[in-house]
Structure 1
Amino acid sequence: MNKIGLILFTFFICSCQAQIKENDIQVQNEVKNYTFETVASGIDIPWGMAWLPDGSILVTEKSGILYHIKNGQKTEVKNVPVVYNRGQGGLLDIILHPNYEKNGWIYMTYASSEGDGDGGNTKLIRAKLENESLTSIESLYKCGPNTTKGQHFGSRIVFDNEGYLYFSAGERGNHFVNPQDIKRDNGKIYRLNDDGTIPKDNPFVGKEGAKEAIYSYGHRNPQGMIKNPITGAIWAHEHGPQGGDEINIIKKGANYGWPVVTYGIDYDGTIISPDKEKPGIEKPIYYWVPSIAPCGMVFVTSDRYPNWKGNLLVGSLKFQYLELVKLNGNEIIGRQKIATDIGRVRNVAQGPDGYIYMGVEGKGIIKIIPN
């Protein structure tokens, strides 16, 4: 590094440390007023969870297996599409249609090798479940082109109050090209109608060359996305590089800045951008420095957890715990460790029974039982 580079790097680190002091809320140690119950074991990387009306659970495993868990027994669902299982890619999220009991649609994202180029990219499908097999499979959106890079596929799926479907796709390790270009896929959050068609009021409809499914852009790798049950807004978190994981409220047509602005630095210590804020770029409502590597997110609405109700739970892959993110409206006012040393928490969800469930790598699905 030359002298000018060293000066810039020192300035960045100092200013980042000052910003950390202003933004960072120290994480409190856990108050262990709960126990754990293993619902299903032997699932290597449980990514997504969705509950069927009978209380059974569909769980995606990154390698490409879709499990149906009922009364503690795992059944492998047949006719699951072949996934591109490389790096962070594989079988990813799963969600039921809000009117599932009437139409039977199940939505999934996964890394697919279909389309142009070698490798794979994020794809969204919907299907129905009949006799432990997927049927009526429909392709709704496929990001392209493919790449053999193994990082940053996303991906989470959520429906809003109006019935629109959102899904996230990471920038596939091509951060200097994809996330800021609305003519390219990746580094985006997309909004579709439930049948995969594009809503006429999407922000880039009619713009020459634009990917009209894009709802927001400038994302790095969003692996948590959920609807705020009070406001109806879509919240997402995403991985930063070395520092700078973010929680964002997703707005129509908004630019979330990656890599033009960031609160982190690259893994080799070099500066990605000297800027943490810029006009026209949405600021996160919170960022983590150091990075916790967030994955999965849920708003707690259950009366079973009175001390957690009204707050967020976020999984930490890096530090292997669940984090309670305490809220006052849209403001983050506190952090607390839950399930310390449980393992790499890949997902967290609230079941229809009101209990919190974690997908933990190498362990499976674990339910948190309050004392």
Structure 2
Amino acid sequence: MRKRLVLAVVGTALLVSSFKAWGFDGDPVRSDRAVFHVTTFATGLEHPWGAAFLPDGRLLVTERPGRMRVVDRDGRVSAPLGGVPPTELGGWEGGLLDVAPAPDFAATREIYFCHTTLVPSGALTRLARARLSSDATALEGATPILDVAPAQKGHRSHFGCRIVFGPRDGKVYLSTGDGLTDPRRAQRLDDLAGKVLRLERDGRPAAGNPFLNHPGARPEIWSYGHRNPQGLAFNPWTGSLWEAELGPRGGDEVNVIRAGGNYGWPLVTHGLDLDGSIISDLRSAPGMEDPLKVWTPVISPSGIAFYDGDVFPGWRGSLFLAALTMPGLVRLSLDGDRVTGEERLLPNEVRMRHVIQGLDGRLYILTDETEGRILRLR
């Protein structure tokens, strides 16, 4: 008992020391372009995955085991919302994943979310929409609007699942993973796995999609050849859609997504298979889009966010990536749609699942932990 107590005290001391080393309620952190503190904004979340600010400044957050909560402006976390559909956890990546309020949420109270679910043929990613009740305690009328078919059989992983709304066209953009067991699905146009999809608000293929009149192709597809894209965001200065995806053993990528573009996986890759075997000798190929940035060794990027706030003027114009494997926060400096530099922030401390900019111009980070937190950079 005494040994366990000593280990617990030592572990806590190391944790506190580590936190203070990168400004956790302690000394400021000085980065290349900013000085900041890291504080705990909210606690008590089990593997938080997706988050989005509501117009009133409250934060809507998902937990991978299947719960959705509202975090008040002071960091108080609500009880789980009612009306959330059952979620199939399965594997280490399935569950309740991303969430996004509709652009007209203030009038409609409509939100979109994705989760994994079981169907007779296996497990799949499902996109759904619902209304947040007026008292923000429940989802009302949750309705599936798209299943990422066909379903995965056996192993359940690589679900992708990030949701963004086009700032200019109002369409729904959804990233989907390749399902892991058969990477070739990412190249198949009759399969929704390993893609970025572009949808109308009711889940129908969006007008103007590149494969609307392509025989044998799913008309929802906007781009294909992706492995496991968990980052999706629009560049507010150029209007382009950026995507981050986890590579295998090496080969994490950041891409600018173009309509109809083939991003290569698994025919072109900078990584090896997880067992060290060669997936492809090609790093580039005619007719396939090259990534803007590649990481080997991997950082395992998940959520991404462009920073256009005023709190950190030196970071304005940057892209931030929440990294799981390094772990930490990665900042890319940009020139339009080009990456010009990289900075590692808060390295080797905690797995980071998502990063978002608050209405107050600060950055908020979801930690991928059983006792998950929301950290705030101020």
Q: Indicate the residue corresponding to 2:132 in structure 1.
A: 129
Aligned partner letter, 2:37:
T
Once the two structures are superposed, the pairs formed by residues 127-276 of structure 1 within 5 Å of their partners are 127-130=130-133, 131=135, 132-147=137-152, 148-160=154-166, 161-276=168-283
The aligned counterpart of 1:295 is 302
2: distance between equivalents of 1:338 and 1:307?
Answer: 14
The offset of 1:177, in angstroms, is 2.8
Find the residue that maps to 1:73 and give its secondary structure. Answer: coil
Superposed, 1:72-111 pairs within 5 Å as: 72-75=75-78, 76-86=80-90, 87-111=92-116
Instruction: Give the C-alpha shift of residue 330 in structure 1.
Output: 1.8
Provide the C-alpha distance between the structure 2 equivalents of 1:36 and 1:367, rounded to a whole number of angstroms: 6
Contact 1:342 1:360 (C-alpha < 8 Å) held by counterparts: no
Identity %: 37
Give yes or no for contact 1:293–1:316 (8 Å, CA) kept in 2.
Answer: yes
Deviates more, 1:160-169 or 1:191-200: 191-200
Task: Tell me the equivalent position of 2:18.
Answer: none
* Separation in structure 2 between the aligned mates of residue 185 and residue 366 of structure 1, nearest angstrom: 34
**Counterpart for residue 292 of structure 2:** 285
Cα displacement (A) at 1:175: 3.7
Q: Deviations over 1:272-320 (max 9, x none)?
A: 0000111000111111111110011000101111221101110110012
Contact (CA 8 Å) 2:269, 2:280: kept in 1 or not? yes
Q: TM-score, normalised by structure 2?
A: 0.87
Q: Is the 8 A contact 1:30 1:339 kept in 2?
A: no
The one-letter amino acid of 2:132's match is L
Q: Deviations over 1:151-170 (max 9, x none)?
A: 20001011111101100110
Letter in structure 1 aligned against 2:377: I
How many residues get paired? Answer: 339
Measured in 1, the distance between the counterparts of 2:368 and 2:46 equals: 5
Q: Is the 8 A contact 2:190 2:217 kept in 1?
A: yes
Structure 2 match to 1:35? 37
In 2, Cα distance between equivalents of 1:84 and 1:206: 34
Contact in 2 for aligned 1:183/1:211 (Cα 8 Å)? yes
SS of residue matched to 1:179: helix
Which residue type is aligned with residue 143 of structure 1? Answer: V
RCO (CA 8 Å, sep 6+): is it higher in 1 or 2?
A: 1
1:200, distance to aligned residue in structure 2 (A): 3.1
Structure 1 unaligned runs (5+)? 1-28
**Counterpart Cα distance in 1 of 2:330 and 2:76:** 29
Q: Distance in 1 between matches of 2:126 and 2:165?
A: 17
Q: Secondary structure of the equivalent of 1:60? A: strand
Cα distance, 1:43 vs structure 2: 1.3
What is the distance in 2 between the residues matched to 1:36 and 1:212?
44
Indicate if the aligned counterparts of 1:93 and 1:110 stay in contact, CA closer than 8 A: yes
Structure 2 counterpart of 1:144, one-letter code: A
In the alignment, the residues of structure 2 paired with residue 81 and residue 176 of structure 1 have an alpha-carbon distance, to the nearest angstrom, of 29
Distance 1:176 1:226 in 2: 24
Distance 2:159 2:275 in 1: 22
1:175–1:258 contact (8 Å) kept in structure 2: no
| Alpha-carbon shift at residue 30 of structure 1 (Å) | 4.6
Indicate the SS of the match to 1:182: coil
Q: Offset of 1:326 from its aligned partner?
A: 1.1
Query: Matches of 2:215 and 2:343 in 1, distance apart?
Result: 47
Q: Is 1:175–1:220's contact at 8 Å kept on the other side of the alignment?
A: no
Partners of 2:144 and 2:157 in 1: CA distance? 23
Partner of 1:324: 331
Aligned residue among 346, 351, 354 for 1:344: 351
CA drift of 1:265 comes to 0.7
Check the 8 A contact 2:237/2:336 in 1, yes or no. Answer: no
